[in-house]
Amino acid sequence: MTTPLPTLSILDLTPISEGSTATQTLHNSLDLAQQGDALGYHRYWLSEHHNTSMLASGAPELMVGQIAARTPRIKVGTGGIMLPNHAPLKVAENFRLLEALYPGRIDLGLGRAPGTDMRTALALRRSREALQAEDFPEQLTELQAYLDNQAIAGIQAIPLGVPAPAVWMLGSSTFGAQLAAARGLPFAFAHHIQPEPALLALQLYHQLFQPNRRNESPQAMLAISVICAETDQAANEPAMSADLTLLRFHQFRGQPGPIPSVAEAKMQLYNPAEQDLIKSNRQRMFVGSPSTLKHQLSALAHSMGVKELMINTLTHAHSDRLNSYRLLAEAFALNDRMKT
């Protein structure tokens, strides 16, 4: 029996490469989104991070509007908006506005992590009480009310009369899975961050899902790290930049700096502990040729019970990134399947 092919989407962290700039990185994202649309990818999501020299976008909702304006078809959204950093009313208004402009194409992916260090989170949330509060479910309730045209204390989110965008819950543990299930929301698991709990979280999500008027059945997606090239050996070369980046992420407490070049990565001499860490990090990456990855990713989606994979590709060269997404799209026949 043939394993069915999953739908593929794109997760863009807006990584800044060594020798490049934030401006160029953001224009690369616009280019990748347009290429992804033409290649047949289903969604294009952007992440929220702060106080880092590695990533360019702290305001993914602004990029959502820019990308939606430049693409005719692909769904565009956030992976995600870190809700504790924002007032639910403002998030609702941002995404109602986007939905009004691009109806049926906007996804609001929500997370509860700060997307940064605690000092920066304090600057975003403006008080230690807000920083320490465990009120994410209450914030979610408030946001959903605004999105559903409900008034809270006489306040409504504008523009009025606009359908709510699709709301997704993000998570890298069982907490997000169970909350998504209880609220009847679609769920995206961050396998690229923490693969170990993925299967249990997705099983719990499907078991506990409570249908509602918006979502009658569970809808789950897995976000994964992938680097594809023409051969398995060729794919290993751009992956060396990702290896060094993830190693530095651990060594420098989440502040690795821009993505190093392959040449720089090749010059590194790793001690045994660093080699072990790189080997461990490779366990949450999929690196290989189109045929290798078609088999691996289809088997992964089947084993996890998901029909959609969101692909994050971290390379130094924009051309390598584009090539990786192109080869995957061809291997999975995205454009042909989109037409059927």
> Which domain covers residue 226, as residue numbers?
7-232+287-339
Query: What is the sign of the dihedral through the CA atoms of 269, 271, 276 and 281?
Result: negative
Q: Is residue 279 part of a domain?
A: no
pLDDT in tens, the chain (340 residues): 577 899 999 999 999 999 999 999 999 999 999 999 999 999 999 999 988 899 999 999 999 999 999 999 999 999 989 999 999 999 999 999 999 999 999 999 999 887 676 777 677 777 676 566 578 999 999 999 999 999 999 999 999 999 999 999 999 999 999 999 999 999 999 999 999 999 999 999 999 999 999 999 999 999 999 999 999 999 999 999 999 999 998 887 666 789 999 999 999 999 999 999 999 999 899 999 999 999 999 999 999 999 999 999 999 999 999 999 999 999 999 998 887 6
Rounded to whole angstroms, what are the CA distances from 223 to 71, 113, 216, 306, 336?
Answer: 22, 16, 23, 11, 23
Query: What is the identity of the amino acid at 302?
Result: H
277, part of any domain: no
Does a structural domain hold residue 245?
A: no
Residue 337, helix vs strand vs coil: helix
In a domain, 23, yes or no: yes
Residue 259 lies in a domain: no
Number of domains in the chain: 1
CA distance 176 to 205: 9
Q: Which amino acid does the sequence have at 8?
A: L
What is the CA 174 to chain-centroid distance, rounded?
17
Asked if residue 265 is part of any domain, the answer here is: no
**CA distance linking residue 148 with residue 248, whole number of Å:** 43
pTM of the model: 0.95
Residue 249 lies in a domain: no
CATH number at residue 227: 3.20.20.30
Residues 6+ apart with CB under 8 A from 307: 4, 6, 7, 220, 301
- Domain for residue 319, yes or no? yes
